[in-house]
Amino acid sequence: MFYTRYCHNEATAENGPWIITLDPPIYRSVMQHARNRLLRKEVYCAYIIRASTGDLNNTHIIEQILKLRLEKAKLLGYNNYAEVQLRISSWDAAVRDMEELRQFAEFNGADEAGELNHWDFNFWGERLCESSYDINEEELRPYLSFPAVTEGLFSLSSMLFDVNIHPADGLAPVWNEDVRFYCVKDSTGDPYSRPSEKRGGAWVSLVVGRSCALSIAGTTARLPIVHVVCNQTPPLGDKPSLMTFREVETIFHEFGHALQHMLTKEDEGFVSGNRGMEWDAVELPSSFMENWCYRRAIISSIAKHYETGQNLPEDMCMKLLSTRTFRAGSVILRQMRYAAVDLELHSEYIPGGPESIYEVRQVQLLELIPSGHDYAAGYYSYQWAEVMSYDAFSAFEEAGLDNQKAIEELGRKFRDTVLALGGGKSPLEVCSFLTGAFSVQNYYTSQICLGKFSV
């Protein structure tokens, strides 16, 4: 795609020439689809040693960051930066996932089947998914155009949170022709953010937060400015940007973060949006929005062939829905491992001491922990947010996902609690307004034991 647009007009996906960068979308594609194992290994090794060798080595900066964080914790009266320890043992579900993957690779004659490595997991995981569900992400691309996906996302947000999102291109100068502006208002016409402040987009960057103290004299609270930045295949000619379903999940996820900032009602800048919020709940709105990607009604609204306008065929839709808990045990346990290493670095590890950060990284929950994708491997807050968002979404399921009146009422409640209250109240208190107590066991049962999700 890079060469097609900038260097080689005759380049094709089949015949090249190609350039492989370490940008996450390209890296993931190589890990999932490249049949050349040596190439996968080369790209994987290059990916994990970024900024760690030669003149670009920033290991000393990591040490400095950890040292300063420890100093900060001591100044605040804490023993360490985390004050918690995460201990978890091997999980049977992840072990089963690993064994299933090995057996599948062996059945397909893979020489590496007896000793799968990190650069093998995504590739064989993708092949196993294709074999098990008879679907691959490239088949879905023609049905997932960026304009249709964003239109469906905005319609869902309007229905749930009683907001109107309208294009506002031309109302302010932009730095690139691909930048889009949107005006976000509530149902009465009052803006949640000025027309120039919402840029359509996959990561979220808060420029300024809602604040009463920093508002102009005689006006209401200063409204937030939020960027939502995409990182996907650009449109070419008359062909729109076509997305993988993983990219659809990502944009729903990041828009959840944007909603935290846009719909907050906290006028104190330090606790508006997700500022001042405990890490436990920062990922709640984003994880909550991801749940809607797996609703058949939502898929029907966003998955339309970019040329014919036809909806995604029913059989493909059902296959897609059935992949939701694919290798869930491995994915969850890998999240736990990243959380454990993160907490170890900020609790027991002593910057400048006898142990190096590379030794801390060797902490293992299993000998190797594969994952179908890299995005879910985050800090403990990601995993805890999954539990909280599952609990919140369960309230909508119990009300009946086809009961629009009940869903709208719950959506307004979610807006007025989880999204509006920001860091002004504790996450548990905020969520208790919505659902009451959590059920961690129910979440893991649904994920690991393939419990049924409403579709």
What is the residue-averaged pLDDT of the chain?
74
Amino acid making up residue 230? C
Range of the domain at 179: 142-326+377-448
**What is the bridge-based pairing of β-strands 191-199 and 225-229?**
parallel
Q: DSSP letters along 303-367, please?
A: -B-TTT-PBPPHHHHHHHHHTTTTTHHHHHHHHHHHHHHHHHHTTT--TTSSS-HHHHTT--SSS
Question: Do both 253 and 341 map to the same domain?
Answer: no
Average confidence (pLDDT) over 31-49: 91
Question: Do both 178 and 310 map to the same domain?
Answer: yes
Question: Do both 290 and 230 map to the same domain?
Answer: yes
- Total of domains in the chain: 2
Interhelix angle 118-133/24-33, nearest 10 degrees = 70
* Residue 437 belongs to domain with CATH number: 1.10.1370.40
pLDDT at residue number 51: 84
Question: Do both 281 and 388 map to the same domain?
Answer: yes
Question: Do both 353 and 406 map to the same domain?
Answer: no
Question: Do both 176 and 53 map to the same domain?
Answer: no
Question: Do both 31 and 104 map to the same domain?
Answer: yes
**Beta partners for 184?**
165, 193
More confident residue, 20 or 172: 20
| pTM, rounded to two decimals | 0.66
Residue 5 in domain = no
Positions marked active-site: 254
Interval 202-214: pLDDT, tens: 444 444 444 444 4
Question: Do both 301 and 337 map to the same domain?
Answer: no
pLDDT at residue number 90: 33
Question: Do both 417 and 289 map to the same domain?
Answer: yes
What does the alpha-carbon distance between residue 103 and residue 96 come to, in Å, rounded to a whole number? 10
Average confidence (pLDDT) over 242-253: 92
Contacts of residue 26, defined as CB under 8 A and 6 or more positions apart, other chains included, come to 20
Q: Is the CB of residue 228 less than 8 Å from the CB of residue 201?
A: yes
Taking CA 416 as the corner, what is the angle to CA 247 and CA 246, rounded to the nearest 5 degrees?
5
Residue 11 in domain = no
Question: Do both 444 and 301 map to the same domain?
Answer: yes
What does the alpha-carbon distance between residue 83 and residue 77 come to, in Å, rounded to a whole number? 11
Write out the H or E segment, with its range, that includes residue 160: helix 146-161
DSSP 450: T
Confidence category of residue 188, pLDDT binned at 50, 70, 90? low
Closest-CA residue to 165 (of 188, 198, 213): 198
Residue 68 in domain = yes
Residue 1 in domain = no
Interval 322-350: pLDDT, tens: 887 776 666 666 666 666 677 677 777 77
Amino acid making up residue 96? R
Question: Do both 181 and 215 map to the same domain?
Answer: yes
Q: Is the CB of residue 354 less than 8 Å from the CB of residue 397?
A: no
* Residue 354 belongs to domain with CATH number: 1.10.1370.10
Closest-CA residue to 226 (of 252, 192, 249): 192
Question: Do both 95 and 167 map to the same domain?
Answer: no
pLDDT at residue number 395: 86
Interval 360-400: pLDDT, tens: 655 444 444 444 433 333 345 666 777 778 888 888 988 88
What does the alpha-carbon distance between residue 40 and residue 61 come to, in Å, rounded to a whole number? 29
